[in-house]
Amino acid sequence: MFPNSILGRPPFTPNHQQHNNFFTLSPTVYSHQQLIDAQFNFQNADLSRAVSLQQLTYGNVSPIQTSASPLFRGRKRLSDEKNLPLDGKRQRFHSPHQEPTVVNQIVPLSGERRYSMPPLFHTHYVPDIVRCVPPFREIAFLEPREITLPEAKDKLSQQILELFETCQQQISDLKKKELCRTQLQREIQLLFPQSRLFLVGSSLNGFGTRSSDGDLCLVVKEEPVNQKTEARHILTLVHKHFCTRLSGYIERPQLIRAKVPIVKFRDKVSCVEFDLNVNNIVGIRNTFLLRTYAYLENRVRPLVLVIKKWASHHQINDASRGTLSSYSLVLMVLHYLQTLPEPILPSLQKIYPESFSPAIQLHLVHQAPSNVPPYLSKNESNLGDLLLGFLKYYATEFDWNSQMISVREAKAIPRPDGIEWRNKYICVEEPFDGTNTARAVHEKQKFDMIKDQFLKSWHRLKNKRDLNSILPVRAAVLKR
């Protein structure tokens, strides 16, 4: 159901080379010498092995040039090409990968209020000289099941549905991000041949919008890496590679030395902003847990989207500024839907422990959604009532001082005594590693602002039953 190209998994090998664990990442630890070798690879990459330029066509639009090799741009030779061996120059004209790749046209939205689980991509393997995931040759759309959007019999529910249908991420948006991921993986594998690049976060978990950034996770091994030393060094090499060899295709690359360091950049072809981390494997696991929740019940995605738009409008959806991350907001919505007198969502980790175990190998994580059937809830609340109930729950019912939000347990549980939870204003449990996803809210002023916005918005919406009273819909649509 979730094939390998979107996941950054390795290609299918020839039959005579296959074995049972060929998808498993090598457990080898990158030693100091191997990191030195990676730096050597960066400085002395064999350009004769670089991937040639490909033309990518979106529907009937004129071709767009993307490539993993920045040294071959158009017909004009760059100065660096003068030093290439003869075979390296010939590859430009005789590469087996020169034929254009045509991406299927965007499927238009139907007039009916129906949508399917967005398909992921499938590619057929063509042997490649750099042992990377091959370029797109053929894309097959996989539609596991159709989900009918809920009916909207009142004005507020109608507004929520219209906002959702206008702003939800389209298949074309996901394609652009996947194309960028594929090309970047080729480049990064010149530095770290055994690495894999995964698309994670809102782009893939079902809660993305047209304006969602792309999140990428570079996996160099399945074991944790030291984020302060090893991850920073790896990202330093990647950042340098982006700056020197990919400046024609990537702009504004920045190395952010945070607790979990990232490289931020913008892809010039898709115009998408990306954040790239190293070995944040829990992000891969929770992407598919959230994706399963997203398509488990037809009210989940519209409700999450409108709440994210509301929080962003009121400036309480930015972890870098001491407020709530989008991930924390999604978990808060799921928790609310789990704790209703008649729950709309269950705990997937309780019902299907074998599908969402933190011990599952990465190459099996994508299979989880296909093992879970739709959830049939007896709760018939409409979207408007659920939005109002969400605001009321966190404004008047949830005990911020003593409770922790737990999607894993499908209930509010007592706060742990660990140091990570002390003096924290909001506690949201990460479903896999048990950390606090809302730890960014560390100032009382920001916490009070968040609580105040829940309370004010609840009162306004209860009195007017109009989404514009808490979120200017036209402005939200323009932002997409």
Residue 466 has pLDDT above 60, yes or no: yes
Average pLDDT over residues 302-316: 98
For position 41, what pLDDT does the model report? 58
User: Quick one: angle between helices 155-167 and 383-392, nearest 10?
Assistant: 90
Average pLDDT over residues 383-405: 97
SS3 for 283-319 is HHHHHHHHHHHHCCCCCHHHHHHHHHHHHHHCCCCCH
For position 102, what pLDDT does the model report? 32
Question: What distance in Å separates the CA atoms of residue 407 and residue 394, rounded to the nearest whole number?
Answer: 15
Tokens of 42: 């960066």
Question: What distance in Å separates the CA atoms of residue 405 and residue 399, rounded to the nearest whole number?
Answer: 10
Q: Please state, in angstroms and as integers, the Cα–Cα distance from residue 42 to each residue in 10, 160, 227, 237, following that order.
A: 21, 49, 21, 8
> Per residue in 356-367, pLDDT tens?
999 898 888 988
Question: What distance in Å separates the CA atoms of residue 475 and residue 468, rounded to the nearest whole number?
Answer: 10
User: Hey, what domains does the chain have and what are their CATH numbers?
Assistant: 155-478 (1.10.1410.10)
Average pLDDT over residues 3-27: 37
DSSP 442-471: --HHHHHHHHHHHHHHHHHHHHH--GGGTS
Average pLDDT over residues 26-39: 53
> Per residue in 121-163, pLDDT tens?
333 332 232 232 223 232 333 344 567 899 999 999 999 999 9
Average pLDDT over residues 229-245: 95
DSSP reduced 3-state for 386: helix
Reference 123, options 269, 270, 11, 288; nearest CA is 11
> Per residue in 74-99, pLDDT tens?
333 344 434 444 333 333 333 333 33
**CB half-sphere exposure, 269, CA atoms < 13 A:** 26
Question: What distance in Å separates the CA atoms of residue 308 and residue 323, rounded to the nearest whole number?
Answer: 13
For position 33, what pLDDT does the model report? 56
Average pLDDT value over all residues in the chain:
77
